[in-house]
Chain A
């Protein structure tokens, strides 16, 4: 006997287009409301806590710099993932592809540490994109030609990539002066993204003094319009959308599934690789065994929160970054536990999925299925 809920979900024939856009905003609002309740339950003035969590982190240029620094790789990876997700090609291994981007860039950075030159950073960027794409190519080949499950393959390859990083930083690439600690040498200036604050034009040097935001955000700024052109204005982008929405239609139209798998995975791998170089040649300045806070996985949330749409992803990446910064600020200013920012991430995702269900389905009350009890006749 199966459990019978008093309600059931009936698919809507025509989900409201407007609600599809409103749902993420609604999820954000609901998260904030529940958040206020949590703050109050923790004995904080909800409004103060709200200010500390969501306003203070971006109340100065320092905060904006950190927000961009964090949102930029998330956005880059999520844009790449969205391309595949639209076609139901689930690359879950962006984290590993990002590692490979970091590895390829680091290889150049430390090999040409002494000689260097202005060409080094551009070469590292290209190498990182190639590295990420190559790692994703393994998944693409297995999925396109052997029909393996790309979710499992890409996820498992992340662990392989992690071990590869560990092998390199404990082994051949270890800084000889590191006392056996697992990291490479610090990159030279030629191998690092220059800080925006190092530019004197437009008064960036005074405006951004002491900030860490660097030129790598330009990659994201360029990637955003390119991703939009590709996804929403190119024929292959159209093919990917059709393959996701109506696979039989895509087959009937003669779109090559293999080709779509290759395109989606190579592009998302390359984007993740770029995020990798933006970290190792950015705020970290070396390769070590614990350099990523899991951007490759967080970007999956960013892509879904942003509705696989370019504009949505930009805002989702900023929001996700703000949740990280807010969580830290809440710890520092109010001594709230670290878990609070994870609670917010979880709430956000839960409300988003909940709203999605209601946009796509309507709730119908089940008719009472119990047999009608006959009144017992008086003896």
Chain B
């Protein structure tokens, strides 16, 4: 009998506690969700977004509750996942790959009360806001390092899709290198995927086989960097700090920093005024950076990078400033002028020094 009473009393206590606890959190946490194109363990693009999510969680604690869905294909499945997340009460949904643009727009129409944020796209709507970071800035700085390090004067670039976002990074990397050594050329291999370590590795091997000795990639894994280390050449980390994957080959990492933005979006939504403006941030805004610069670089290289980095971070320097020449040497932009954001976002040509033909 005694034990029964105990049990009942304990149960009652537990119920009361639960109720009290329930009332003590007056407001339910803001539910936020992320849709990822790769696995969180890709060590690059998706990993960087997840670091951003964790940063927002660390900052806002139990005010937000987050959910992720990884490796979501960019076809008909994406819309279902996005809808499902919105149905499950997520008020904020980040869709973090270009291929989610149409699915996000379609799903958003059915959930007018939720806010959708699409990374790297170009179409927005009442409740669809786009955000991206100017990765061409750290790509330019990486080019400066490559210009100092390359002995053969041939750089390699493992590229995903021939879209402006990637083309401008190839251009910036080449321009950075040619600001140091005007004879440098860049070879490009397209892999037509964001994340496929096998293909990325093959592309890196092909580039090294053609004489490239400093590689950069606009793909999501660390395969290019690791291949560079295996073959005794140098390369960079991309999207996340990849030093640990190949410390000998690693020159620096061009990283995305999403934590600040995700925190801002959450805070604005918590305050009842969701962010609706397109954000295209660069190093100046703390949305990306060049980090873990190798200690083995020559003093001139270190100095050159530091100077340009300060200039970019202070807003004094724009990467795409004339004179910019096309592949055939023709003037694309006169000296003293800078490309507008719209021009940067629709660039469809290689600059001088990039070899091969841009797939059309």
State the A residues within 8 Å of B (CB): 62, 66, 69, 166, 170-171, 179-183, 186, 210, 212, 279, 282-286, 288-293, 324-325, 328-329, 331-333, 335, 337-338
With A170-B359, A180-B162, A335-B67 known as contacts, the answer to whether A283 contacts B102 (CB < 8 A) is no
Q: How far is the CA of A59 from the CA of B67 in the complex (A)?
A: 21
| Cross-chain contact B87 with A62 (CB below 8 angstroms) | yes
B240 CB to nearest A CB, Å? 19
Query: Pick the contact of B68 from A62, A282, A289, A331 — CB < 8 Å?
Result: A331
Q: How many A-B Cβ pairs are below 8 Å? A: 84
Q: How far is the CA of A182 from the CA of B99 in the complex (A)?
A: 10
Residues of A within 8 A of B74 (CB): 288, 290
Within 72-98 of B, Cβ neighbours of A (below 8 Å) are at: 72-77, 79-81, 83-85, 87-88, 98
| Cross-chain contact B75 with A338 (CB below 8 angstroms) | no
Residue of A179, A285, A286, A329 contacting most chain B CB atoms (<10 Å): A179
Residues of B within 8 A of A329 (CB): 84
| Cross-chain contact A171 with B360 (CB below 8 angstroms) | yes
Residues of B within 8 A of A333 (CB): 88
B64 CB to nearest A CB, Å? 15
With A179-B164, A331-B70 known as contacts, the answer to whether A210 contacts B76 (CB < 8 A) is no
Q: A179-B345, A291-B75 are in contact. List 20 more A-B contacts (CB 8 A).
A: A166-B192, A170-B359, A179-B346, A180-B162, A180-B164, A180-B167, A180-B348, A181-B98, A210-B110, A282-B76, A284-B76, A284-B102, A285-B102, A286-B102, A289-B161, A289-B192, A290-B75, A331-B70, A332-B67, A338-B70
Query: Pick the contact of B76 from A180, A283, A289 — CB < 8 Å?
Result: A283
Residues of A within 8 A of B73 (CB): 290, 293
Residues of B within 8 A of A170 (CB): 162, 359-360
A100 CB to nearest B CB, Å? 17
B69 on the A face (CB < 8 A): yes
Could you pull out 22 A-B pairs where Cβ atoms are within 8 angstroms? A179-B345, A180-B163, A180-B346, A181-B163, A182-B161, A212-B79, A279-B76, A282-B76, A283-B76, A284-B102, A288-B74, A291-B75, A293-B75, A293-B76, A328-B77, A328-B81, A332-B69, A332-B84, A332-B88, A333-B88, A335-B68, A337-B39
Q: How far is the CA of A46 from the CA of B266 in the complex (A)?
A: 34
Residues of B within 8 A of A180 (CB): 162-164, 167, 346, 348, 360
| Cross-chain contact B68 with A328 (CB below 8 angstroms) | no
| Cross-chain contact B122 with A179 (CB below 8 angstroms) | yes
- Least CB separation from B79: chain A residue: A283
Q: How far is the CA of A332 from the CA of B163 in the complex (A)?
A: 31
- Least CB separation from A69: chain B residue: B76
- Least CB separation from A63: chain B residue: B84
Q: How far is the CA of A293 from the CA of B72 in the complex (A)?
A: 10
| Cross-chain contact A179 with B84 (CB below 8 angstroms) | no
Within 159-216 of B, Cβ neighbours of A (below 8 Å) are at: 161-164, 167, 192
A292 CB to nearest B CB, Å? 6
B314 on the A face (CB < 8 A): no
Q: How far is the CA of A186 from the CA of B88 in the complex (A)?
A: 28
- Which A-B residue pairs are the 3 nearest by beta carbons? A283-B76, A338-B71, A293-B73
- Least CB separation from A333: chain B residue: B88
Q: How far is the CA of A269 from the CA of B19 in the complex (A)?
A: 61
B97 CB to nearest A CB, Å? 10
Q: How far is the CA of A55 from the CA of B289 in the complex (A)?
A: 45
| Cross-chain contact B360 with A288 (CB below 8 angstroms) | no
- Least CB separation from B36: chain A residue: A338
A291 CB to nearest B CB, Å? 5
A67 CB to nearest B CB, Å? 10
State the B residues within 8 Å of A (CB): 33, 39, 67-77, 79-81, 83-85, 87-88, 98-99, 102, 110, 122, 161-164, 167, 192, 345-346, 348, 359-360
| Cross-chain contact B75 with A284 (CB below 8 angstroms) | yes
Q: How far is the CA of A267 from the CA of B327 in the complex (A)?
A: 50
Residues of A within 8 A of B75 (CB): 279, 284, 290-293
Q: How far is the CA of A291 from the CA of B102 in the complex (A)?
A: 12
- Least CB separation from B105: chain A residue: A186
Q: How far is the CA of A183 from the CA of B102 in the complex (A)?
A: 10
Q: How far is the CA of A283 from the CA of B81 in the complex (A)?
A: 13
Q: How far is the CA of A85 from the CA of B83 in the complex (A)?
A: 38
Residues of A within 8 A of B167 (CB): 180
| Cross-chain contact A290 with B99 (CB below 8 angstroms) | yes
Q: How far is the CA of A282 from the CA of B106 in the complex (A)?
A: 13
Q: How far is the CA of A181 from the CA of B166 in the complex (A)?
A: 11
Query: Pick the contact of A338 from B39, B348, B359 — CB < 8 Å?
Result: B39
A77 CB to nearest B CB, Å? 15
| Cross-chain contact B99 with A288 (CB below 8 angstroms) | yes
| Cross-chain contact A328 with B84 (CB below 8 angstroms) | yes
Residues of B within 8 A of A183 (CB): 102
A66 CB to nearest B CB, Å? 5
Query: Pick the contact of B80 from A166, A212, A285, A338 — CB < 8 Å?
Result: A212
Q: How far is the CA of A95 from the CA of B67 in the complex (A)?
A: 33
- Least CB separation from A292: chain B residue: B75
- Least CB separation from B107: chain A residue: A212
Residues of B within 8 A of A291 (CB): 75-76
- Least CB separation from A291: chain B residue: B75
- Least CB separation from A279: chain B residue: B76
- Least CB separation from B66: chain A residue: A335
- Least CB separation from B90: chain A residue: A332
A73 CB to nearest B CB, Å? 9
A80 CB to nearest B CB, Å? 20
Residue of A180, A328, A329 contacting most chain B CB atoms (<10 Å): A180
Q: How far is the CA of A171 from the CA of B164 in the complex (A)?
A: 15
- Least CB separation from A285: chain B residue: B102
Q: How far is the CA of A337 from the CA of B87 in the complex (A)?
A: 21
Q: How far is the CA of A62 from the CA of B111 in the complex (A)?
A: 14
Residues of B within 8 A of A181 (CB): 98, 161, 163
Residues of A within 8 A of B348 (CB): 180
- Least CB separation from A329: chain B residue: B84
Q: How far is the CA of A171 from the CA of B358 in the complex (A)?
A: 12
Q: How far is the CA of A338 from the CA of B67 in the complex (A)?
A: 13
| Cross-chain contact B85 with A332 (CB below 8 angstroms) | yes
| Cross-chain contact A179 with B163 (CB below 8 angstroms) | yes
Q: How far is the CA of A313 from the CA of B345 in the complex (A)?
A: 48
Q: How far is the CA of A288 from the CA of B87 in the complex (A)?
A: 27
Q: How far is the CA of A349 from the CA of B87 in the complex (A)?
A: 33
Q: How far is the CA of A304 from the CA of B181 in the complex (A)?
A: 60
A216 CB to nearest B CB, Å? 11
A359 CB to nearest B CB, Å? 35
Q: How far is the CA of A186 from the CA of B69 in the complex (A)?
A: 26
Residues of A within 8 A of B162 (CB): 170, 180
| Cross-chain contact B163 with A328 (CB below 8 angstroms) | no
Q: How far is the CA of A156 from the CA of B68 in the complex (A)?
A: 36
